Structure 1
Amino acid sequence: MTSHSNSPHADHPVNDHQGASGTELVVDIGPIAHGGHFVARHEGRVIFVRHAIPGEKVRIRLTDSGDSSRFWRADVVEVLEASPHRVPHFWKAADSQASWRRGGPPVGGAELGHISLERQRALKAEVLAEQLKRLAGLDLATEVEAVGDHHDDGLGWRTRAGFAVTSKGRLGMHAHRSDVVLPIKEMPLALPGLNDLKLWDLDLSGIARVEVAVPANGSRPLILLAPEEGTSPKRVHSILSQLPPDVSVASFDPSKGEVLQLRGRTWVQESAAGHDYRVTGEGFWQIHKDAPETLVGAVTDYLSRGGYLQPGAAVADLYAGAGLFTAPLADAVGVTGSVLSVEGAPGASRDARKNLHGEAQVEIVQGRVERVLHQSARSFDSVVLDPPRAGAGKAVVKQLMATGPRAIAYVSCDPASFARDLGYFHQGGWRLESLRAFDLYPHTHHLETVGLIVPSA
């Protein structure tokens, strides 16, 4: 074990109290865990380490610890024995070793950027398999598929990004699980159009958060500014004057969900599967430029091949957002069929009404999915289920099984909540017929799955 005195980090303040944050230890890295961490152990204690690779020997710095904690968290500060899958990080601000050499943590949002893309996808497949085994009792290996034409470097795919603002008014991002905001000068994961805005050159004093949407179809971008309490309208308009004139700008209050027009539109126009979609403010839209087409294709392929989606069919689109799936479902069932579109967020539901205007076979209902299912008491040939990260949950799964659809296409951005819900379906006599996994978030630990779930009988 390398001593602290030999370490290039010896100049950094290191707390010698065992388990105190800031302590440096040398550990061997074990398997990946859900959430972008890797498992290490020190004197019997589990440590979740970021920026490592299985099989490495590394020096880590404890970032979240204590004698009473069940487990500790840490960052890699030095690689002593490297994995063959380690590559130079593409983003200086997110490079853990370089950041700690400069005296502080890296920004979050690219926690697997030091690993080759092929190995990233294999590790994500391991996480998915482990969650399915532990929470659903399934032994299933699933390849995590690359997406889009330009998947050689995994960069330039984000159409949306959220930023914090430093105390000096500069665009920044948070360190992982931290209130620390670090200034940034680039966002390599984002579309070039987002970087071209050069928001890091502006004085954003008085703004707490900045959200940016740059549609993949090249339509007008939208910048959302969340002013700090007490920021004057004059200050907001001063920032507005610094922004490019061809960009829409709005202010928003995250706590109230209010979006107020400052210039141009309060929404962006997205395109997918032959349809245009209006998405207002912070409204949800898949962030990878190729995600909408990929997911619509996977869902409609599963349902069509099984005969669950055809002219005249009755279909439900639950957690429907602005209608990404609703529009192609309406195309498939035709005027003789029906699509029930359910979304809880009022703004997204209003967008869906605009996006599906003129589709007589579509009924759009704004409300909680469990309440709408309880009140409608309708049966469906098939269901598209695309819940938020927390998943659908036991109550919704039970209600869905009770409505008696022939198939459910479940779209999930979280392997743990997906596997948990799949366990509920299994308990109710349903089974996973097919599963695909997509690498829609390269260089991060996230992945997307589309599963076809059917009654066992």
Structure 2
Amino acid sequence: MTGTRRPRERPPGAEPLVGSTWTLDVGPVAHGGHCVARHEGQVVFVRHALPGERVVARVTEGRVGDRFLRADAVEVLAASPHRVPRPCPYAVPGQCGGCDWQHVELAHQRTLKTAVVREQFRRLAGLDVDVTVAPVPGDEDGLRWRTRVEFAVGPDGRAGLHEHRSTRIVPIDDCLIATREVISSGVLETQWQDCSAVDVIAATRPDEPVLVPLPRQGGGRGAGGGLVGERVEVGDWAGEYVLAARGFWQVHPGAAATFLSRVLALLAAGPGDRVLDLYAGSGLFALPLGERVQPGGSVLAVEGDRTAVDNGIRNTEGLETVEWRANRVDRELRSLTGQGISADLAVLDPPRTGAGRDVMSALAGMRPRRIVYVACDPAALARDVKTADGLGYRLTALEAYDAFPMTHHVECIALLEPQRR
């Protein structure tokens, strides 16, 4: 069938390798919080290791003949100079899977993330990028930064976190990347009956964290918990935002201001500009952009979540320059391009899967003079940058930020501009 990828065939009766232990020489870091090693020619993705180490690794997934295996380093025979004692007792093989790099010096975590971003762009976009992952202010040496945490609830009613790539729930007494406000909410001491999870949201307002129990027959992402408030300051500008407690917002306390500052600087919007804000959330970018394009300009904010749109309308009320559309971004762009509508500038902040070819094609067809792309996955960004290059837009700036310390995640901001003919 056209467009269907055939599954890779294994030899009949391929032997399972889970539980096997091997001594491995660990190679380079890879996207996803692990490093690459090989055993008898087979690729092994190893967690809890570092490049250059020699470890004993236990296989956690895979069979003979698989394209790759997964494993945990359970003993370090020759350690990297960048290895440090883990601050969290749960960040070990077989326990919590939330953190990837607690055994690594914080500065070296950023070195590893920098290598990942560069490798993804080289492999997926064919570009050698000069980028270095920068810190985001607001954490405590890489800890106590996560303002929003969804804790899973086990059959015993106790809240915890999942083991890596597993549904098994690990009971915990603390989560060191969660803010002190999240932990002091009492979520880990409470018995949560008939719940599958509990969201804890430590927003700017109210002063106390909001706890949202999710029943085993729960609702959608934005359901429950009411509204919370966030305040963002960039220079002498300050914005007040209202959003659903379980709605999308940056989880690092310094991330929203850092990203907003860079987006505004890279876009350089001014009076009269027509701006597209795609995957607009509750209006983090739309609010200050709506002010900057006055007089004579406009901001069209497109968001697929109806609750977020309602809150975005509230956040930008009084700004006649801002219009909201509750629609899928690809559908809205098809409609706009079908009407022959163009734009001067665009910002997009898509989900982890990226914008995709349809969105990038439609956006390029509207011929903005600058596109600023905010991305939480460097691989998805690199693929979309390659697509944009084929549509006449080149990457002219790339920044990366460590908004998720102790994990493999990294945030990137890319500037795309029309290629000179």
TM-score after normalising by structure 2: 0.92
Q: Counterpart of 1:138? A: 127
| Residue 186 of structure 1 pairs with residue 190 of structure 2 | no
Percent sequence identity over aligned pairs = 42
**Which amino acid counterpart does residue 228 of structure 2 have in structure 1?**
V
The DSSP-based 3-state class of the residue aligned with 2:27 is strand
User: What is the aligned counterpart of 1:295 among 244, 259, 266?
Assistant: 259
User: What is the aligned counterpart of 1:128 among 103, 117, 130?
Assistant: 117
| Residue 435 of structure 1 pairs with residue 398 of structure 2 | yes
User: What is the aligned counterpart of 2:48 among 34, 46, 51?
Assistant: 51
| Residue 320 of structure 1 pairs with residue 280 of structure 2 | yes
User: Paired residues, what number?
Assistant: 400
Q: CA 1:184–1:82 in structure 2 vs 1: closer, same or farther (change >3 Å)?
A: same
| Residue 148 of structure 1 pairs with residue 112 of structure 2 | no
Alpha-carbon distance in structure 1 between the residues aligned to 2:115 and 2:292: 35
Contact 1:221–1:268, Cα closer than 8 Å, also in 2: no
Alpha-carbon distance in structure 2 between the residues aligned to 1:282 and 1:53: 35
Alpha-carbon distance in structure 2 between the residues aligned to 1:328 and 1:342: 16
Q: CA deviation at 1:267?
A: 1.6
Q: Counterpart of 1:344? A: 304
The runs of 4+ residues in structure 1 deviating greater than 6 Å are none
**Which amino acid counterpart does residue 109 of structure 2 have in structure 1?**
Q
TM-score after normalising by structure 1: 0.85
| Residue 170 of structure 1 pairs with residue 167 of structure 2 | no
User: What is the aligned counterpart of 2:102 among 113, 131, 134?
Assistant: 113
Alpha-carbon distance in structure 2 between the residues aligned to 1:150 and 1:319: 27
The DSSP-based 3-state class of the residue aligned with 2:28 is strand
Contact 2:38–2:44, Cα closer than 8 Å, also in 1: yes
What is the CA deviation profile of residues 343-362 of structure 1, one whole-angstrom value per residue up to 9, with x for unaligned ones?
01111111111111121110
Q: Counterpart of 2:411? A: 448
What is the CA deviation profile of residues 125-144 of structure 1, one whole-angstrom value per residue up to 9, with x for unaligned ones?
11000110111110113110
Q: Counterpart of 2:72? A: 75
User: What is the aligned counterpart of 2:359 among 396, 401, 404?
Assistant: 396
**Which amino acid counterpart does residue 187 of structure 1 have in structure 2?**
C
Q: CA deviation at 1:219?
A: 3.4
Contact 2:161–2:171, Cα closer than 8 Å, also in 1: yes
Alpha-carbon distance in structure 2 between the residues aligned to 1:387 and 1:154: 25
Q: CA deviation at 1:18?
A: 6.8
Contact 1:318–1:343, Cα closer than 8 Å, also in 2: yes
Q: CA deviation at 1:164?
A: 0.6
Alpha-carbon distance in structure 2 between the residues aligned to 1:180 and 1:317: 39
Q: CA 1:149–1:387 in structure 2 vs 1: closer, same or farther (change >3 Å)?
A: closer
Alpha-carbon distance in structure 1 between the residues aligned to 2:26 and 2:283: 43
User: What is the aligned counterpart of 2:314 among 354, 374, 380?
Assistant: 354
**Which amino acid counterpart does residue 453 of structure 1 have in structure 2?**
L
The DSSP-based 3-state class of the residue aligned with 2:119 is helix
Pairs within 5 Å for 1:17-28: 19-28=16-25
The DSSP-based 3-state class of the residue aligned with 1:288 is coil
Alpha-carbon RMSD: 1.6
| Residue 223 of structure 1 pairs with residue 211 of structure 2 | yes
**Which amino acid counterpart does residue 161 of structure 2 have in structure 1?**
M
Which residues of structure 1 form unaligned runs of 5+? 1-16, 97-104, 230-252
Contact 1:37–1:49, Cα closer than 8 Å, also in 2: yes
Alpha-carbon distance in structure 2 between the residues aligned to 1:352 and 1:391: 22
Q: CA deviation at 1:335?
A: 3.8
The DSSP-based 3-state class of the residue aligned with 1:30 is coil
Q: Counterpart of 1:8? A: none
Alpha-carbon distance in structure 1 between the residues aligned to 2:139 and 2:229: 23
The DSSP-based 3-state class of the residue aligned with 2:287 is helix
Q: CA deviation at 1:376?
A: 2.4
Q: Which moved more, 1:327-336 or 1:439-448?
A: 327-336
Pairs within 5 Å for 1:244-255: 253-254=218-219
Alpha-carbon distance in structure 2 between the residues aligned to 1:270 and 1:42: 50
Contact 2:222–2:307, Cα closer than 8 Å, also in 1: no
The DSSP-based 3-state class of the residue aligned with 2:26 is strand
What is the CA deviation profile of residues 359-416 of structure 1, one whole-angstrom value per residue up to 9, with x for unaligned ones?
1110000001111112223211110011000000001101011001000000000000
Pairs within 5 Å for 1:80-91: 80-91=77-88
Alpha-carbon distance in structure 2 between the residues aligned to 1:260 and 1:95: 33
What is the CA deviation profile of residues 182-206 of structure 1, one whole-angstrom value per residue up to 9, with x for unaligned ones?
1011111111111111211111131
Which residues of structure 2 form unaligned runs of 5+? 1-13
Q: CA deviation at 1:149?
A: 5.2
| Residue 278 of structure 1 pairs with residue 242 of structure 2 | yes
What is the CA deviation profile of residues 282-311 of structure 1, one whole-angstrom value per residue up to 9, with x for unaligned ones?
21001100000000011111122xxxx111
